[in-house]
Structure 1
Amino acid sequence: MTTQLSLGPLQYYWPRDDVFAFYLSMAKTAVDIVYLGETVCSRRRELRLRDWLDIGHMLRDAGKQVVLSTQVLLESTSDVGNMQKVAANGEFTVEANDMGAVDALAGQQPFVAGPQLNLFNADSLAWMRELGAFRWVIPLEMNADSLAAVLSQTKAPMQTEVFAYGRMPLAFSARCFTARHYNRPKDDCGFSCIEHPDGQLLTTRESQNFLVLNGTQTQSARIYNLLGDMPGLLTLGVNVLRLSPQSRNMEQVIDAFDAVRGKRLDAHAASQLLETAMHDSSCNGYWHARPGMDMQTATP
């Protein structure tokens, strides 16, 4: 079976019209699966569930598989209520990003076990499969050898999805770092993160890009990029490669991965072309059991 490409949930806060325009353009690309929904902060209210469902209908009509993603960090009863509405949407598959969502979905419908559930071994994977997960997204820190070991010990069939491109969501907090930067309280943040469509870059004293602030989420500054590692990923039997949305050149990113998948370009040539679409340098250290910000150059 051909490895599928997925578009992960939008991690940033964009104006409503920009979100609709983005997904209209994504409907014309080669991605097979599109994840929708707010996963970072409940205060981001440009789109409501009804809007995400409308986008989902448009993408489904364009031939895409649609998955609704739940919020990672639930901080209030209203957050729990919103999660339960997503879980009970009745139309689309759901990606569970915390155990509350797993509980809401278990025994009710098949679901995707998101990367923030931190499933690192075959036993936890088997348990999630018993609860109804048909696909899991591996933790960002998992390396190729660890994934191979888990898959070799997994008896029940389950699809495997790997985060293959984008700034990595490293941590979530009850505090909003973007609001803090503007000296605003979280509850009166002015929605300042909407001013940073790809997050707010944080540099070291040596002026090196270090992290990206994205509201309550902390990301890597460098872009996790496994395009050069696709031959190994395909050998492992990975079913889905996840590409995380960025505000510019997303079509080029998808085209590069699709070209390698379709064997129209080799991984080395496609990686060189992808550089023009990226707004920061690449890293793939975690995949090679090295520090995350390292880059292991693909062999031509």
Structure 2
Amino acid sequence: MTTLLTLGPLLYHWPAEAWRDFYFRIADEAPVASVCMGEVVCPKRAPFTFPLYEEVIERLQAAGKEVVLSTPALITDHRDLALVKDAVELGAGLVEANDVAALPLLTGKPHVIGPYINVYNESTLARMAADGAVRVTLPAELPAASIGKLAEQDSAAIGMPEIGMPMIEIQVFGRWPLAISARCYHARAYERSKDGCLYACGEDPDGLPVETLDDEPFLVVNGVQTQSASYGCLLNELDLLKACGVRRFRLSPQTIGMIEVARLFRDRLDGRIDREEASVALRQLAGHTALSNGFFHGREGAQFV
């Protein structure tokens, strides 16, 4: 079974040049088939990187990568929706919807459903297929049994033989996305208002750690987004996912060496490295950041089983 790696969108507010150079390196060095780019967390950040889209897309496509344009996870007004329209009009590749408000602009066109839209059952998957979704990245909190049920679905099983079902994609590395809010806790942590944030999120290129009163890692704040403190990691579960029929695997960018992470997952998927050796190598790359896979095993998400 052919397996493919996707690099999810960069969720943090990096300097524009660093953002561009990161994608240039991905184009030249990372063994990923698809690359998502676009502002998912805060539309206020979009003007910093949008002028660089053309050269980044050209570099990625020249390297044989599929480009997916990701759109905001929270659409609250016409300005946010304008980012979806811009992605559609750019025509550079598939557009990824992360808020149901984007779907009317994509219905009838091939598109991708991101992990911020709740796809929990077969009926929802069928509806997405009917509207043109060709790929669905399932929410991070789904356990193995639910992933298996959705991955095994085909058009005949739900009485829709005329429609091909979307390909299931699973995030297998990177902080779990937990919540998105209209409030910006990142700005508040720096004693700024949301409107006057001065892009506080740019101070923390891998997110702002939040600890408990006992000084234990708890969450990470990224602008208006809340993430896990740990790096989600399903490296040990790749064989189980493949057995379920999953063929696409998503890596969410962090400040660690993502080229090395991509190579590690590619080698593991291809059987060039065993599970134990891969786990040791990934823990070294993650440094002091814990790994977690609890959601997959029906446990608390922060746990590592």
TM above 0.5: yes
Does structure 1 residue 190 correspond to structure 2 residue 198?
A: yes
- Provide the residue aligned with 2:297 in structure 1: 288
Distance (Å, rounded) in 2 between the aligned partners of 1:247 and 1:147: 28
The one-character-per-residue Cα deviations of 1:39-97 (angstroms, maximum 9, x if unpaired) are 00011145343422321111010111110001111122211112211123222111111
* 1:193-232 matches, cutoff 5 A: 193-232=201-240
Distance (Å, rounded) in 2 between the aligned partners of 1:34 and 1:251: 13
* Contact 1:167–1:223, Cα closer than 8 Å, also in 2: yes
* Contact 2:152–2:245, Cα closer than 8 Å, also in 1: no
Does structure 1 residue 161 correspond to structure 2 residue 162?
A: no
- DSSP 3-state at the match of 1:2: coil
- Provide the residue aligned with 2:159 in structure 1: none
Distance (Å, rounded) in 2 between the aligned partners of 1:192 and 1:94: 28
Give the fraction of aligned pairs with identical amino acids, expressed as a percent: 39
- Provide the residue aligned with 1:128 in structure 2: 128
Distance (Å, rounded) in 2 between the aligned partners of 1:283 and 1:10: 20
* Contact 2:177–2:226, Cα closer than 8 Å, also in 1: yes
- DSSP 3-state at the match of 2:266: helix
Decide which of 265, 269, 279 is 1:261's aligned counterpart: 269
TM-score (structure 1 length as normaliser) = 0.95
Distance (Å, rounded) in 2 between the aligned partners of 1:56 and 1:185: 34
Distance (Å, rounded) in 2 between the aligned partners of 1:208 and 1:16: 33
Offset, 1:223: 0.9
- DSSP 3-state at the match of 1:88: helix
- Return 151-160 or 32-41, whichever deviates more: 151-160
Offset, 1:115: 1.1
- Return 2-11 or 91-100, whichever deviates more: 91-100
Does structure 1 residue 35 correspond to structure 2 residue 36?
A: yes
* Contact 1:126–1:154, Cα closer than 8 Å, also in 2: no
Distance (Å, rounded) in 1 between the aligned partners of 2:279 and 2:16: 32
- DSSP 3-state at the match of 2:145: helix
Offset, 1:98: 1.1
- DSSP 3-state at the match of 1:162: strand
* Contact 1:231–1:267, Cα closer than 8 Å, also in 2: no
* Contact 1:6–1:243, Cα closer than 8 Å, also in 2: yes
* 1:169-184 matches, cutoff 5 A: 169-184=177-192
* Contact 2:8–2:252, Cα closer than 8 Å, also in 1: yes
- Return 61-70 or 153-162, whichever deviates more: 153-162
- Return 192-201 or 83-92, whichever deviates more: 83-92
Distance (Å, rounded) in 1 between the aligned partners of 2:207 and 2:268: 28
* Contact 2:67–2:92, Cα closer than 8 Å, also in 1: no
- Provide the residue aligned with 2:143 in structure 1: 143
TM-score (structure 2 length as normaliser) = 0.93
Offset, 1:251: 1.5
- DSSP 3-state at the match of 1:220: strand
The one-character-per-residue Cα deviations of 1:254-275 (angstroms, maximum 9, x if unpaired) are 1110110121101221011111
* Contact 2:171–2:250, Cα closer than 8 Å, also in 1: yes
Distance (Å, rounded) in 2 between the aligned partners of 1:24 and 1:152: 36
- Provide the residue aligned with 1:104 in structure 2: 105
